[in-house]
Structure 1
Amino acid sequence: MDKKWMAAVAVLLGILTYLFIGFAHHSSKMSSIVKELQGHRGNGTQRYHFVLIEQERYNPYWEMVEKGADQAAQEYGIDIEFAGAVRNNVNEQLNLLEKAIAARVDGIIVQGLNEENFTPVIDKAVKRGIPVITIDTDAPSSQRLAYVGTDNMAAGERLGELVVETTGGSGKIGVIIGSDQSANQLQRLDGLRQVVEQHSGLEIVDVRSSNISHMEAIQQAASMLREHPEIDILIGTSATDALGMLQAAKSLKRDTLTIIGFDTQKETLAAIRNGEIEATIAQQPYLIGGMAVKLLYDHFQGQPLQSEYYTEVKVLDSSNVEEGESL
């Protein structure tokens, strides 16, 4: 009986040992999977997972931001995911920001479009240990690490200076802004106004929003020109505006209008070559995307960051339009 009892105990111990080893192996595997879901490799080598939330997917400007960010991510061994509204939509961007926080990604790159709405969500990410870089539009009162992009007030002032240089300081101006919900667009408008108000011969007659839509830019520009035939200068503050204004001007046979745009869509550069658009203010979206990724990476390496990193803007006209291909 003793021998049978001892044999039974030995078998039982063997089974328990097998089950324990299996459980330990399963737990280790689950731990590895969880680490990967949180943005880290399970083999001990850290590989960060960043999310870049765009204002509008497949927009040429944001496609260049993506390219710059993707290149930097490859260089630093980072997994990067791109997300954004199909059409400019602040609420959808906020939802994507909330989803990135819930997914516990390692870092977030996002616009601070509407500071009142975005600041609490950015702060929520930071409180949960997820650093945030703002690009294109800042949220300076938030706990974001840094802002990367254009000094939008200064860019608006440069637009105003360009109007003065082009027209000699005289004319009636119609302005199409990308969005009346975006701080960067409103800052560009404020900068433009500051310069225009210094010249008695210049007047901003009307301001309308295109909602980052080419079709809406056409419609708003056409309506503006019909209501204000005295307008002889059209200014756009986002990538889609100049081309929309040009198409509206052609449909109304307003061939003598001076059109000044923003950003470097291929069609905009072609219109400058053809003499249909006077000039454009060029940002550096490729550089902005790449720099944002690098700064997040530097943060994880323990390097201190500045609060703002402003990228330069450049005026492109018929004399240097070819330079726009590389921005």
Structure 2
Amino acid sequence: MRKLFATTLAALSLAVTPALAQDEQPFKGSEEDQYYMITFVSGVEYWFPVYEMMKQAGQQLGVDTVYTGTPEYDVTKQLAVFEQVLARNPKGILIAPMNPEPFIEPINRAAEMGIPVVTFGADSPNSKRVAFVTSDNAREGQVAADAVAEAMGGKGQYAVLENPGQDNHDRRIAAFIGRMESNWPDMELVARAASNQDPTKAYNAVLSMAQANPELGAIFMPEANSALGAAQAAKELNTGIKVMLTDVNGKILDMLKAGEVFGSLNPNQGIQGYMGMMMLYLAANSDMIDPMNATSQTGENPFAGVVIDNGLAVVTSENADFFYWDKYLERRGTDGIKE
């Protein structure tokens, strides 16, 4: 009986081992496979932690990752970068599209070429992107509204700075205003202006808003660049205007610690990059997936439509030290986007 048992185990071992090896092999990519991350205003610090974790996932999978984008806030130029990357026939593309509609055709064309595209932060929902990794933009706006209203005792005037046309920013602004209207009826929206991530425009807008509305108590914006100008204007006015925003960078963190900025909601960028890379890899190697649906017959990518919430953090003067990019890089011992 013992001999029979031992013989059976040996046979099972021979039968199982090759299968296990085959199952594990798909997660060992090739260094020749390149996955690109495309941004706009590419020097903005927000993108760097996203790429840092995309890069780590790529290293773990054994593939190459590349950071690129356009330094301008210009959808035409971001589209041009997308086309340049597409011409290199990459294995996959991770992108935060500045506007959703202009990217429908190029993303669909990439899909037809067999190049999966994953969006993060901002989306192009009507395109054939295979996945979208984001924080809940509506929740961000709601959390920001609650924080501001509670700090003001539920009563007062507020304004918003916005970047019309950028999907994720529009959602944050709409959710912020909607939350105020539904949960804080004594909070009054008195002004809104387009700053388009320009600190100078934000600075001038806040000065004009405050002049027209002397009781202005708070201002919200869906990104960090505008907050640099807004916070400077609020500081000069010295009327106690609370500056609330989303995203952080070194200057914003310094302002938070100095009390010049009220608070910020920061999406978990690392999860955006890490899960974005994982989704790209799985979509580019979709033959390893056999779900219970008709995609194997239709030729569709089984990852089409996946949406992942990366979560968010509320950044205040108390926890700001954990969000400095240079300290993060020093702890990790890497060169960030240069790698």
Q: Calculate the TM-score normalised by the size of structure 1.
A: 0.80
Per-residue deviation at 1:193?
Answer: 1.2
* Matched-pair identity in %: 27
Per-residue deviation at 1:73?
Answer: 2.1
Assess, with a 3 A threshold, how the Cα gap between structure 1 residues 46 and 266 changes in structure 2: closer, same or farther. closer
Report the RMSD for the aligned CA atoms in angstroms.
Answer: 2.1
* Alignment equivalent of 1:72, drawn from 52, 57, 71: 57
Q: Partner of 2:189: helix, strand, or coil?
A: strand
Q: Distance in 2 between matches of 1:236 and 1:114?
A: 18
Q: Distance in 2 between matches of 1:45 and 1:74?
A: 10
Assess, with a 3 A threshold, how the Cα gap between structure 1 residues 226 and 127 changes in structure 2: closer, same or farther. same
Letter in 1 for 2:264: T
Tell me what 1:226 maps to: 211
Assess, with a 3 A threshold, how the Cα gap between structure 1 residues 112 and 86 changes in structure 2: closer, same or farther. closer
Tell me what 1:209 maps to: 194
Q: Distance in 1 between matches of 2:31 and 2:69?
A: 26
Tell me what 1:174 maps to: 159
The answer to whether structure 1 residue 316 and structure 2 residue 300 are counterparts is no
Q: Distance in 1 between matches of 2:233 and 2:317?
A: 22
Tell me what 2:253 maps to: 269
Structure 1 unaligned segments of length 5 or more: list them.
1-43
Q: Calculate the TM-score normalised by the size of structure 2.
A: 0.77
Tell me what 1:144 maps to: 129
The answer to whether structure 1 residue 112 and structure 2 residue 97 are counterparts is yes
The answer to whether structure 1 residue 286 and structure 2 residue 231 are counterparts is no
Q: Distance in 2 between matches of 1:149 and 1:63?
A: 16
The answer to whether structure 1 residue 245 and structure 2 residue 244 are counterparts is no
Structure 2 unaligned segments of length 5 or more: list them.
1-28, 290-301, 329-339
Q: Deviations over 1:257-291 (max 9, x none)?
A: 11212112122222222222221111122321222
Letter in 2 for 1:149: T
Per-residue deviation at 1:197?
Answer: 0.5
The answer to whether structure 1 residue 197 and structure 2 residue 181 are counterparts is yes
Per-residue deviation at 1:141?
Answer: 1.8
Relative contact order (alpha carbons < 8 A, sep ≥ 6): 1 or 2 greater?
Answer: 2
Determine if contact 1:49/1:105 at 8 Å carries over to the other structure: yes
Determine if contact 1:242/1:262 at 8 Å carries over to the other structure: no
Q: Partner of 1:156: helix, strand, or coil?
A: helix
Determine if contact 1:65/1:287 at 8 Å carries over to the other structure: yes
Assess, with a 3 A threshold, how the Cα gap between structure 1 residues 78 and 214 changes in structure 2: closer, same or farther. farther
Per-residue deviation at 1:112?
Answer: 3.2
Q: Distance in 2 between matches of 1:182 and 1:262?
A: 14
Determine if contact 2:95/2:120 at 8 Å carries over to the other structure: yes
Q: Partner of 1:137: helix, strand, or coil?
A: coil
The answer to whether structure 1 residue 81 and structure 2 residue 80 are counterparts is no
Q: How many residues align?
A: 282
Assess, with a 3 A threshold, how the Cα gap between structure 1 residues 88 and 142 changes in structure 2: closer, same or farther. same
Q: Distance in 1 between matches of 2:30 and 2:174?
A: 48
Tell me what 2:14 maps to: none
Determine if contact 1:234/1:260 at 8 Å carries over to the other structure: yes
Tell me what 1:41 maps to: none
